[in-house]
Amino acid sequence: MKYSIIVVSLSFLIPAGHLAAGEQCATAGSGNNGRVVHLQEVYKTVDTFKLKIDIFYAEASLKNENNTAIVFFHGGGWAFGTADEFFTTCERYAEKGVIAFSVSYRLSIENGVTPSKKISPIESVMDAKSAMRWVRGNTGKFHIAADRIVAAGQSAGGHLALCTAMIDDYNEKSDDMSVSCHPDAVLLFSSCINAVEGWCDRLLGDRHDRIWSISPYHNVREGLPPMIEFHGRFDDQVPIWTIQFFQQAMQQKGNYFEQHTYEGMRHYLGEGNPKYSRYYNEDILDLTDSFLRKFKFLR
């Protein structure tokens, strides 16, 4: 018993990059599905980067077939943030029988300075698509159903989740293009929907003319997966009107888009509650669970 308490404490202190690829450790919670296991793998090597994906699952889940996967992309304006911001959320969903993933991707910062001369949101999009293909390529290993892979993200991470569903350009040369990067549903928290704004333009540098091509709002089409989005009415980083216009465009194309707006809230919907990196609170995750159950992703 003493051993398990020590391991739980360390799981919150060790950043994603400090767990050796392939290493396994126990994390918080036991729930009805037993111990939660935390693995880390390299999903792509590009230039000097070994990009890692953290994996969370309950031991009992590997005895099941047709598991749901949720792949989380952290926020931070394509230049900041770390995968561990989603670790407590991954643990929560692992306890519910989901195989949960948190993705590290290239950021547009170099030697502490933005923008990077070589990395922009385009590279972040490419990494997100590679990560989704890695998950699809490992469905057998984690007993994941091919039609139950969900992409999720906060802020810029929400933009990346959307891009895996909506943007067909910008694929890594090393990717197996026979494996789809498209998710079967999308979870969005204070997400960037319209990339045509000053910060993204700055990070794109001399490729700023491509900004339209990575903007979800400008690439809405029929046949997109169901989506749910949570947003503060006074969001000071991603204006609420961008979400409202996106909702209209999605509905006009016959896509399912569920929107929840919160009065008095800004960009961080869990402000004052550090459990989920201020991204949201338990009430918002309960609504997320209801959405997942509606579309048969959660038991």
- Please name each of the domains of the chain with its CATH number: 2-294 (3.40.50.1820)
Task: Name which residue leads in pLDDT, 254 or 29.
Answer: 254
What pLDDT was estimated at residue 299? 86
Per-residue model confidence (pLDDT) at position 22: 63
**pLDDT category, 30, cuts 50, 70, 90?**
low
Q: Is the pLDDT of residue 3 over 70?
A: no
Q: Residue 13: is its pLDDT beyond 90?
A: no
Cβ–Cβ contacts within 10 Å for residue 6, how many? 10
Q: Using CA of residue 36, residue 39, residue 43, residue 46, what is the dihedral sign?
A: positive
Both tokens assigned to 243:
């979400």
Is residue 42 pLDDT above 70, yes or no?
yes
Structure tokens at 83: 């995968």
**d(C-alpha 290, C-alpha 283), whole Å:** 11
Angle between the N-to-C axes of helices 121-137 and 156-166, in degrees from 0 to 180, rounded to the nearest 10 = 60
- pLDDT tops 90 at residue 55: yes
Q: Is 91 helix (H, G, I), strand (E, B) or coil?
A: helix
For residue 15, say if its preceding peptide bond is cis, omega within 30 degrees of 0. no
Q: Where are the beta strands (DSSP E) in the chain?
A: 24-26, 36-46, 49-58, 67-73, 99-103, 144-154, 185-189, 227-232, 257-262
Measured CA to CA, the distance from residue 87 to residue 103 in angstroms comes to 10
User: Where residue 10 falls among pLDDT bands split at 50, 70, 90?
Assistant: very low
Separation of alpha carbons 218 and 3, rounded Å? 52
Out of 2-11, 27-36, 214-223, give the one with best mean pLDDT: 214-223
Above pLDDT 90, what percent of the chain? Answer: 87
Percent of the chain with pLDDT over 70: 89
Mean pLDDT of 14-28: 53
Read off the tokens for 99: 């195989």
| Residue 1 pLDDT greater than 50, yes or no | no
* Interacting residues of 177 by C-beta distance below 8 A, sequence separation 6+: 171
Q: Look at the alpha carbons of 83, 129, 125, 218 in this order and tell me if their dihedral is positive or negative.
A: negative
Distances (CA, A) of 268 to 76, 124, 234, 273: 12, 22, 10, 10
What is the overall mean pLDDT for the chain?
91
- Strands 185-189 and 227-232, by their bridges, are parallel
Range in 24-28, 219-223, 272-276 the model is least confident about: 24-28
Q: Is 80 exceeded by the pLDDT of residue 27?
A: no
Mean pLDDT of 6-19: 36
Q: Tens of pLDDT along 118-145?
A: 999 999 999 999 999 999 999 999 999 9
- Predicted confidence at residue 274, as pLDDT, reads 86
Does pTM surpass 0.95? no
